[in-house]
A and B are shown apart, each in its own frame.
Chain A
Amino acid sequence: MDRKSALQPYRGSLAVSTSTLAVAVVLSIVLWRLDLNGQPFVRAVAEGSLPLGLAAGILLVVAAATVAIHISVRAPSPSVSVGEPLLAAPRVPAIRRNSPFIVVLGVTPKSGASALACGLAFVLATQGRIAKEPNRRLRPLCLLRSDDVPSGVSLDSQALEAYLRAESSAVDDDVVDLAGRHPEGIEFLAMGREKPSASQLRQFLPVLRDHYDAIILDIPADDRWLATVSAELADAVFLMWAPPTVDGTLQRWVDRLWGLGLEGKTILTIGRRRAADPSLPKQASQFVLEIPEDSAIRDRGDSDMAWAIANASAAGRQLRQATRSLLPDLFPQGADAW
């Protein structure tokens, strides 16, 4: 990072300090030139020079000592090089049903929708539990594009496509055999170019609900028909958008979901949020989730999902908090409330 960008957050305060210094210097020159020593204001200032100077000196010494001690004791954190955004607490609806179906709708490309879908599944698989079956972990299913499937998952990316072509009218339990399993118990189904039709999706859900504790579908908004059907069937929709893209797509989707009467389960999700991005107006959506730009996601290798449960990850914290509020029945009370 160069000095110019390093000083970016401090530009305003440096400008204020410099300009006030300039004012002080100009003022002293003016007073000296006009020879206003006899004036009461000037006299008062002159009489206060000693205590003012003393106070300023003491303050300067204290400040310098504080800074010196601080930088001697603690080096700057290497993990944070830019300002962290101030994130609002997630506002999400609570879903209380068995095997919820959650849709992550990526409005803008590279908004982090797939990372959110995988992270959500990872949180459920590693930290979720059902109260009536406390001795087993959850088994979530993640349906996403074949390119986004984590590399550690053994999966035939064409299998689902071939199955849907062969079984165009009926979906049966055999479909679960097509899913690849992650070591943490998440299962993945890859969607190729040919995605399930609306009727197939309707048939899919009851079958998948028999086998999985949660079903998460990551789908780009450009597949408008399937996205709309999925949103209608979903228990919750993460409408994922990343600033600073402003092309009206987000607003169109907000309007569309509002028009369908789905605003009660739509969570406006701002991905990759940075400190410099403007905050959303409070009335933008009833439910909002902010996922910050996080090096733990950006630098993850092989689509690693561990960021979702890493305590050091700000994005993971937001996601965990949102997941717990969204699916309260899948998390035992009091555990891991950090």
Chain B
Amino acid sequence: MVITVSLLAIWLLFVLLAPKRAVNSLAERLRATVQGHRVYVFAPPAELGQGFAMSGLGEGIRLTQLGLPVYLLCLWAEARGRRRRLAMPPSMTSPLPPAPKAHPPARREYVLPPMAWRREWEATLLLRSHQASGKLPQPSSSALTIRSLGTLQLVYAGEDLTARLLRAPTLSFIWLFLLTHAAARPRETVHRQVLAEEAFPGIDAEQQRGRLRGRISDLQHDLPAVLADRVKVDGDLLRLDLETAEFDVARLRDTADDLAAGNGLLSDAGIKAIEAGIAAYAGQYLPIWDEVERQTTGGRGSAGDLVRAVRTLTDDLHMQLLVRLARHYQARRDSPQAIPLLEEVLRSRPEREDVAQLLIAEYRDTGQTMRAHQLETTYRPETAGTRRTE
């Protein structure tokens, strides 16, 4: 009996003290566990079931496997690792905002400045040279100069009358409406009732006529004579007489009518006339109109439509001149001069496929194959349809 007890005690000591699995990696495992990289040094306790007894049994088996000294060492390491994990934030992310989406860089298009800039600069140089030599060009004393593209300027005998016109909103509306009508349909008249409806919308027709009558009589008092005298009244018909005036829209139209047709070479005079026409186009027609209309009618009439029609018309004329000049340079095999003109047209009118084809040919002639390829890609037949529908 004593022997049996002794043997059982020896067995128990063996079971409780000796590790029964390989512990050659113990140091490595302890280090990883202490650093919090592992939850358990070896395997987790056997999951035999719920409750204190079953948990105890599972843990007891773990103890048996490792032996009490190693088991205690493992418990210590696991507790250290657990504390370390708890002290750590769940994850670490940079406090900086995330990187934005990548985008292809904007391509730098190096093009020559518009012709208008060149003309303006040349005019400035000319003026300076005249000023330096004391030979300032004398303004025509008999002609009223009307600049309406990109600005509004009424000059007569060196005096700017624009401010005096704009001082009276209704009168300026009437005068500018008649000017626009003359620009759209030269030498055609406007019926008094049409003008009355545009200037005084939303009131009785009789009242409209009465008010218009009053304003037309005010013209002589409130506007400079050179502006008032231009308004010609013939019974119920009115028009603005621009026969002796220098009107930029009329000049642009005349130049385009005379020279825009054709493809070949231009005469020197033709080139100068077109360049002058291009330079004169300093922007859209009558940019001040929207403000005048807002002050007078609040935009209730349809006069704005007429102004927009003239804006489109002048832009078309400008494009015609650019293309014509470009074609002249093409005929002269002067691609460096033609390219900026065509580029300017295409910037304003991307739907002009004919101009795109001309430009592609010019790019190829000058060895700019990459640009030609890019433009060809843009104006491929399948994408051209999409552009047209846009």
Complex CA gap A10/B40 in Å reads: 14
Say yes or no for B28: interface residue by CB 8 A criterion.
yes
Inter-subunit contact A176/B38 (CB<8 Å): no
Q: Which stretch of B92-100, B170-178, B220-228, B288-296 is in the interface?
A: B92-100
Q: Which residues 39-69 of B have a CB within 8 angstroms of A? A: 39-40, 42-49, 52, 55-56, 58-65, 68
Residues of A within 8 A of B127 (CB): none
| CB of B8 within 8 Å of the partner chain | yes
A312 on interface, CB distance cutoff 8 Å: yes
Question: B9 interface residue, CB < 8 Å from A?
Answer: yes
The segment from A100-108, A198-206, A254-262, A303-311 found at the interface with B is A303-311
User: Smallest Cβ distance from B10 to chain A, in angstroms?
Assistant: 6
CB–CB B43/A10 < 8 A: yes
- Given contacts A185-B98, A312-B85, whether A6 and B46 have CB atoms under 8 Å apart is yes
Q: How many residues of B contact A (CB 8 A)?
A: 69
Most chain B CB neighbours (cut-off 10 Å) among A42, A49, A211, A309: A49
Tell me if A49 and B5 are in contact (CB < 8 A): yes
A141: which B residues are within 8 A, CB to CB?
102
Q: Assuming A10-B65, A309-B91, is B100 touching A185 (CB within 8 A)?
A: yes
User: In the assembled complex, how far is the CB of residue A274 from the closest CB belonging to chain B, in whole angstroms?
Assistant: 12
Q: Which residues of A contact B309 (CB under 8 A)?
A: none
**Contact yes or no, A311 B38, CB < 8 A:** no
Q: Find out whether the CB atom of A310 lies under 8 angstroms from the CB atom of B91.
A: yes
Q: Are B20 and A127 in contact (CB under 8 A)?
A: no
Residues from chain B with Cβ under 8 Å of A132 in the complex:
none
Q: How far is the CB of A32 from chain B (nearest CB, A)?
A: 7
- Give the docked Cα–Cα distance between A101 and B270 (Å): 61
Q: In whole Å, how far is B93's beta carbon from the nearest beta carbon of chain A?
A: 5
A83-B40 contact given A52-B13, A311-B88, CB 8 Å threshold: yes
CB-nearest residue of chain A relative to B57?
A67
> Which residues on the A side are within 8 Å of B93 (C-beta)?
126-127, 309
Q: Is A181 an interface residue (CB 8 A)?
A: yes
- B39 and A80: CB pair below 8 A? yes
Partner of B46, one of A7, A49, A62: A7
Smallest Cβ-Cβ distance to B98: which chain A residue: A185
Determine whether the beta carbon of A125 is less than 8 Å from that of B98. Answer: yes
A56 touches B12 (CB 8 A): yes
Among A21, A72, A181, A184, the residue within 8 A (CB) of B11 is A21
In the complex where A45-B6, A46-B6 touch, is A76 in contact with B47 (Cβ < 8 A)? yes
CB distance B28 to A86 under 8 Å?
yes
Q: Which of A130-161 contact B (CB under 8 A)?
A: 135-139, 141
Quick check: which of A23-31, A219-227, A281-289 contacts chain B, the rest being far away? A23-31
Q: How far is the CA of A71 from the CA of B42 in the complex (A)?
A: 17
In chain A, positions 1-59 with a C-beta closer than 8 Å to chain B are 1, 3, 6-7, 9-10, 12-14, 16-17, 20-21, 24-25, 27-28, 31-32, 42, 45-46, 48-49, 52-53, 55-57, 59
A contacts with B: majority SS: helix
- Write out the residue numbers on chain A whose beta carbons fall within 8 Å of the beta carbon of B64: 10, 13-14, 17
A53 engages B9 (CB within 8 Å) = yes
Q: Which residue of B lies closest to A211 (CB)?
A: B102
**Which residues of the other chain, A, contact B28 by a CB distance below 8 angstroms?**
86
Smallest CB separation, A21 vs chain B (Å): 5
| Interchain nearest-CB distance for A13 vs B (Å) | 4
Question: Are A28 and B4 neighbours in the complex by a CB distance under 8 Å?
Answer: yes
What is the chain B residue whose CB lies nearest that of A30?
B3
**Pair B20/A68 contact, Cβ less than 8 Å:** no
Instruction: Give the shortest distance, in Å, between B215 (CB) and chain A (any CB).
Output: 58
**Closest CB in chain B relative to A166 CB, distance in Å:** 9
Q: Is B3 in contact with A45, judged by CB distance below 8 angstroms?
A: yes
Interface size class of A (residues with CB under 8 A): 35 or more
Nearest A-chain residue to B7, judged by Cβ: A24
Contact of B12 among A60, A84, A125, A211 (CB under 8 A): A60
For the complex, what is the distance from the CA of A277 to the CA of B224, rounded to whole Å? 103
Task: With CB as the reference atom, state the residue of chain A lying closest to B72.
Answer: A66
Whether a CB of chain B sits under 8 angstroms from the CB of A333 is: no
Question: Do A53 and B17 touch across chains, with their CB atoms under 8 A apart?
Answer: no
Residues of B within 8 A of A80 (CB): 39-40, 44
Tell me whether B91 and A138 are in contact (CB under 8 A): no
Q: With a CB–CB cut-off of 8 A, which chain B residues contact A13?
A: 20-21, 61, 64-65
CB distance from A29 to the nearest CB of B (A): 8
Contact of A60 among B16, B21, B38, B102 (CB under 8 A): B16
B40 touches A49 (CB 8 A): no
Contact B91 A77 (CB under 8 A): no
Contact A12 B61 (CB under 8 A): no
**B9 in complex: contacting residue of A32, A52, A74, CB < 8 Å:** A52
User: What residues on B are CB-neighbors of A31 within 8 Å?
Assistant: 3
Please tell me if B2 contacts chain A, counting CB pairs below 8 Å: yes
How many angstroms between the C-alpha atoms of A66 and B68 in the bound complex? 9
Q: How far is the CA of A14 from the CA of B60 in the complex (A)?
A: 11
Contact between A76 and B104, CB atoms less than 8 A apart: no
Inter-subunit contact A77/B39 (CB<8 Å): yes
Instruction: Flag whether B209 is at the interface (Cβ < 8 A).
Output: no
Q: Looking across the interface, which residue of chain A has its beta carbon closest to that of B40?
A: A80
Contact partners of B62 in chain A: CB under 8 A: 10
State in angstroms the CA–CA spacing of A126 and B98 once bound together. 7
Neighbouring B residues of A136 by C-beta, 8 Å: 96, 99
Given A127-B92, A136-B96, A138-B99, check contact A173 B104 (CB 8 Å): yes
Write out the residue numbers on chain A whose beta carbons fall within 8 Å of the beta carbon of B52.
71-72
A212 within 8 A of B: yes
A162 at the interface (CB under 8 A from B): no
Could you tell me the distance in whole angstroms from the C-beta of B110 to the nearest C-beta in chain A? 18
- Bound together, the chains give a CA A119 to CA B94 distance in angstroms of 16
User: Is A229 an interface residue when CB atoms closer than 8 A count as contact?
Assistant: no
Instruction: Please report which residues of chain B, range 1-36, place their CB below 8 angstroms from some CB of chain A when the two chains form the complex.
Output: 2-17, 20-21, 25, 28-29, 32, 36
Which residues does chain B contribute within 8 Å of A45, judged by CB atoms?
3, 6-7
* Residue ID in chain A nearest B42 by CB atoms: A83
Q: Contacts A80-B40, A176-B104 given: A67-B6 contact, CB under 8 Å? A: no
A25 to B99, CA, bound (A): 72
Q: List 21 A-B contacts (CB under 8 A).
A: A10-B65, A12-B20, A13-B64, A20-B11, A20-B15, A28-B7, A28-B8, A48-B6, A49-B3, A52-B13, A63-B60, A67-B63, A76-B58, A77-B44, A80-B39, A80-B44, A84-B38, A137-B96, A137-B98, A310-B90, A311-B91
Closest 9 CB pairs of A and B: A185-B98, A173-B104, A139-B99, A13-B20, A185-B99, A52-B9, A13-B65, A83-B43, A9-B43
